[in-house]
């Protein structure tokens, strides 16, 4: 039951994006996303998301089994990025475009459900 009065709907992110930050002990010289800069990339993306007020939550997660082409990032409902060591400004802009597109898609769907 939803209470009357001062109750305010909780502010939740509309979707999450997951960044693999797995770091191997690397005794076998296997590739890993953290070794390719995914932890710093996650911090950078999170700052950009917050700066724009996008309704996305960045989740730092474990290995996604695409280690040889990481860092790997999945936008919920959107694309999977296999950056293959390319964490350039152009790739970051591409990821941010995907996040903006997903936010717009979900806001439109929410507005449609809410009605006029």
**CB-nearer residue toward ligand FES: 18 or 106:** 18
User: What does the alpha-carbon distance between residue 73 and residue 113 come to, in Å, rounded to a whole number?
Assistant: 29
Q: Can you tell me which of 41, 56, 58, 64 binds ligand FES, judged by CB under 6 A?
A: 64
How many Cβ atoms from other residues are within 10 Å of residue 58's Cβ? 21
Smallest distance, ligand FES to C-beta of residue 48, A = 21
**Do residues 83 and 71 touch, judged by C-beta distance below 8 A?**
yes
**Do residues 102 and 57 touch, judged by C-beta distance below 8 A?**
no
**Residue 22 binds ligand FES, judged by CB under 6 A:** yes
Residues recorded for the chain? 116
**Residue 59 binds ligand FES, judged by CB under 6 A:** no
The residues binding ligand FES (CB under 6 A) are 20, 22, 32-33, 63-67, 70, 72
């Amino acid at each position: 039951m939803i209470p009357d009065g001062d109750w305010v709907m909780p502010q939740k992110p509309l979707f999450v994006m997951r960044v693999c930050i797995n770091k191997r002990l690397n005794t076998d010289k296997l590739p890993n996303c953290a070794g390719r800069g995914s932890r710093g990339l996650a911090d950078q993306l999170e700052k950009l998301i917050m700066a724009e007020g996008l309704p996305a939550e960045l989740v730092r997660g474990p290995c996604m089994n695409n280690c040889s082409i990481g860092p790997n990032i999945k936008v919920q409902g959107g694309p999977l990025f296999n950056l293959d060591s390319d964490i350039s400004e152009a790739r970051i802009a591409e990821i941010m475009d995907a996040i903006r597109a997903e936010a717009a898609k979900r806001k439109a769907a929410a507005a449609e459900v809410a009605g006029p």
